[in-house]
Structure 1
Amino acid sequence: MNQLPLTVKRSIELLGIALIVVILVVGRDIIMPVIMAFFISIMLLPIYRFLRKRNVPESLAIILPILLVLLFIGGIVWFLSAQVGILADDFPQIKQNVAKHLQSLKEWISSFTKMSVTKQENFIKEKSDDMLGMAGTAASGAFVTLSGVFVFVGLLPIYIYLILFYKDILLRFVFLWFKTDDHPKVKDAVYETESIIKNYLVGLLIQISYMTILLGGILLLIGIKHALLIGVIFAILNLIPYVGALIGNVIGVLLTLTSSTELWPVVTVLGVIAVVQFLDNNILMPRIVGSKIKINALVSILGVFIGGSIAGISGMFLSMPIIAVLKIIFDRSESFKQWGVLLGDERPGKSPLTFAKFRKISTVSTKSGTIDKE
């Protein structure tokens, strides 16, 4: 490939990216559970190795960590179900609160528009009928989506077991793709990939725990209803970079509005979320995960939206670890180093338009230090 003209190389790269996207879109129901199982398997490797060192049989050393994962997921599902049950018990009060908020909104709209409250109610009734018609179509597809989720979750333990059991075959397959001289680079990439994914996923689990405790606990002490539900929903959604925090704020406001007719709880919830998120972004999460994942914000946001359009929620959750793995591979490849630069956040100290050395793949100074490029 080094003998080909530069334009041909770049054309092949772009065609390759397009082909990968098409494969992901067409085969997402098969590929996404495998990718998820791969990342979870890497996170479970330390437990597996610990058990193997204590002469635990291989099959049992694989099954026990998988059971721990299932217990953790089951605990989250049970907690959410219990909180939703509490929310359902308050439904009559929620209905009254929503009616009061809607009435206030109607009066506010009519105060600066010519649309009367009666016209607004007729408009809402008309749109509600349209939405009910659309709901029938959506409900028919909801069963398919729900069944897909059960298949996804059901396949995960099987994939995790097989990936851990056949990990040596998979590693040998990877090494056979490269020349013997390149094996040290491949080995370094494998170790770094394992380290980054493990730190990232374990960090996310810790993040879910402390954000639920911090946010839910503070709101509970203040006296906000459904505080724990707001805390756990925001903590889980916060795993989706940038977008999840926005959705979590909206859900927190909606849950607060349905449980109160006053506005001060909403302001309180938003203020507490802002404080907890500041602590998470600037103090807690950097210390837990570290600064190993150097992905710029633009690529992160695009990755979340592209992952969501390709594979839904699972694609949004997996976008960051996938991008991190791709950056590791690109940084060690002679042909794809420029893609590693694009994904990273190492900004040159000066503009490449005015300094020629910043246009080359070499050791350059950045605003955060130096980066070594071949």
Structure 2
Amino acid sequence: MKAEPIAPSVSDESPDPRVQAWADMRLVRSLLIGIFIFMTMAALYFGRAFFMPVMLAFLLALTLTPIVRVLRKRGIPEVVSATLLVLLSIFVFVSAGYLLSGPVIDLINNTSTIGQQLTERLAHFQRPLAKIMDLAHQLEGLTETTQEPGVQKVAVAPSGILSSAAGNILEAGTAITIVFVLSLFLLASGTLFYEKIVQSFTSMSQKKRALRVVYDVEREISHYLLTVALINAGLGTVIGLGLWGLGMPNPLVWGAAAALLNFLPYVGALITILLVAIIALISFDTISYALLAPAIVLLCDVVEGQFVTPMVVGRRLEINAVAIFIAIAFWSWLWGFVGALMAVPLLVVIKVFCDHFEGLSHVGNFLAAQQSFVVDDETGEQDHKTAT
């Protein structure tokens, strides 16, 4: 009996259409996510005049929300408490600007003098680098002499300085107005924002879940922002008093700078220490006494970072140092110094939001410094997950 030839297997050579369709779908999804992220970054960059004050207003409203809640339990309506808090914030902002404007302007005007005095003070430390500096000047001279003899250097003076300054002041005033007015409306609206979110869902279970997530995120972020703001204010006060006791000039400026820059973990403390060290070196007679000023700032920053903040805020909202540096670099590139100040609060917002959704737990796990928490949507309990 003659054997029939065996037909070649098609399944081994051609892929499964369902697998191919699933791979194509994942590719399209990845491309769409990439396009969405790129467009979002472009919108944030080109629309920073709108998005930056709006985000600042939301952060300010979240910071003051716990106070509004406490006052509401005491019988004070949200409109009254929100108005008083925003007016108090405006008063603090204007007073700080008025008190700090004079010393800060003097420091800016005396920048060249400060640099010359610092160079003279550290002259004996610069002797090993003298030969390198001379060589650099010789190379610079060679590059200048090798240019074409007929070519002249033309220095173009900046024009329209007054109009540019006026435009910047007007833009800053508009942004500040948007921040305070929008934060007032957000605080005075009470639970209206949450009601609108709940109304967007149909089933009762979805409404309960959305309301629970929104309240949890709002409570944790509000507590964090208010606590960190108070800690930074206390840190600036202690540093200012310590520098005032040493006889440091303009201790109010350095206390305010320490409080403001402490919103930038690691980077802000380093900048404050360097600035205080420079002013101390040109202000005091001996270098050993001048080093006491940055030593006080360093001691206060270590105590705040290692003991006070972890004890008051807790370990749950600690952020990975790598994520902090990436966020500061990204937001400073996007929105400058103001963006750098908002980088860590926005990072905390993202982390708290990711911790409430199982699908985003890997993002929250990466952002966490030690341990990540994922909230169960049904029970509301928190599952511990060790961060990698």
What is the TM-score with the length of structure 2 in the denominator?
Answer: 0.73
Deviation sequence 1:176-213 (CA, Å, 0-9, x none)? 45553333332232222222222222223222322223
Partner deviation per Cα, 1:217-257 (whole Å, 9 max, x = no partner): 22332333333432321221121122222222222122223
CA contact (8 A) 1:185 1:332 kept: no
Q: Distance in 2 between matches of 1:86 and 1:265?
A: 24
Contact 1:238 1:244 in 2 (8 A): yes
1:70-149 equivalences in 2 (<5 Å): 70-81=90-101, 83-84=103-104, 97-98=117-118, 100-101=120-121, 109-110=129-130, 112-113=131-132, 115=134, 141-149=164-172
C-alpha deviation, 1:8, in angstroms: 4.3
Structure 2: gaps spanning 5 or more residues? 1-20, 143-152, 377-382
Q: Structure 1 length as normaliser, TM-score?
A: 0.76
Which residue, out of 233, 243, 249, partners 1:219?
A: 243
Counterpart check, 1:153 vs 2:176: yes
Aligned-residue offset at 1:55: 4.9
Q: Per-residue deviation at 1:86?
A: 7.8
Give the 3-state SS of the residue equivalent to 2:291 in structure 1: helix
The answer as to 2:177 corresponding to 1:163 is no
Q: Which runs of 5+ in 1 are unaligned?
A: 124-129, 349-361, 363-368
Larger Rg: 2
The equivalent of 2:56 in structure 1 is: 36
1:48 to 2:68 alignment: yes
Q: For the residues of structure 1 that align with 2:290 and 2:166, how far apart are their CA atoms? A: 34
Q: Matched residue of 1:371: which SS?
A: strand
Please list the CA deviations of residues 149-197 of structure 1 after superposition, one character each: whole Å capped at 9, or x if unmatched.
Answer: 2221122221112223345443233334555333333223222222222
CA contact (8 A) 2:332 2:340 kept: yes
Q: Of 236, 257, 271, which residue of structure 2 is paired with 1:247?
A: 271
**Match of 1:241, SS?**
coil
In the TM superposition, residue 301 of structure 1 has moved relative to its aligned partner by: 1.1
Equivalent in the alignment of 1:351: none
1:5-20 aligned within 5 A: 5-20=25-40
Which one is further off, 4-13 or 157-166? Answer: 4-13
Identity percentage of aligned residues: 21
Match of 2:230 among 206, 212, 216: 206
Q: 1:230 to 1:279 in 2, by over 3 A?
A: same
The letter of the residue matching 1:159 is L
C-alpha contact 1:330 1:339 (8 A) present in aligned 2:
yes
Number of residue pairs matched? 344
CA shift at 1:50, angstroms?
A: 4.2
- Structure 1 residue aligned with 2:380: none
**Maintained 8 Å contact 2:239/2:255:** yes
The whole-number CA distance in structure 2 between the counterparts of 1:270 and 1:81 is: 23
CA displacement 1:92-119 (0-9 Å, x = unmatched): 9858734633765765643x44729x98
Structure 1 residues 73 and 285, CA, compared in 2 at 3 Å: closer, same or farther?
Answer: same
Deviation digits for residues 98-153 of structure 1, max 9, x if unmatched? Answer: 4633765765643x44729x989x99xxxxxx9x9687788875554343222211
Are residues 134 and 277 of structure 1, via their aligned partners in 2, closer, same or farther at CA, if it must alter by over 3 Å? farther
Paired residue secondary structure (1:115): helix
Counterpart in the other structure of 2:9: none
**Separation in structure 2 between the aligned mates of residue 287 and residue 138 of structure 1, nearest angstrom:** 49
Question: What aligned pairs does 1:20-31 form with structure 2 within 5 A after superposition?
Answer: 20-31=40-51
Match of 2:79 among 47, 56, 59: 59
Residue 282 of structure 1 and its aligned partner are, at CA, apart by: 0.8
Instruction: Tell me the CA shift for residue 64 of structure 1.
Output: 0.8
Q: In the aligned structure 2, how far is the partner of 1:293 from the partner of 1:108?
A: 47
Alpha-carbon distance in structure 2 between the residues aligned to 1:115 and 1:213: 45
Deviations along 1:17-42, one digit per CA (max 9) or x if unpaired, are 32322221122211121111112112
- Conserved in 2, the CA contact under 8 Å of 1:308 and 1:315? yes
- Match for 2:360 among 325, 331, 336? 336
Tell me, yes or no, if structure 1 residue 258 matches structure 2 residue 282. Answer: yes
Which of 308, 315, 325 aligns to 1:291? It is: 315
Match of 1:321 among 316, 330, 345: 345
Alignment CA distance shift 1:341-1:177 (3 Å) = farther
* Kept in 1: contact 2:224–2:313 (CA 8 A): yes
Cα distance in 2 for residues equivalent to 1:173 and 1:166: 11
Counterpart of 1:318 in structure 2: which amino acid? M
Q: Hey, what's the Cα distance between the residues in 2 that align with 1:232 and 1:109?
A: 35
1:184 equivalent in alignment to 2:208:
yes
Change (3 A) 1:90 1:242: closer
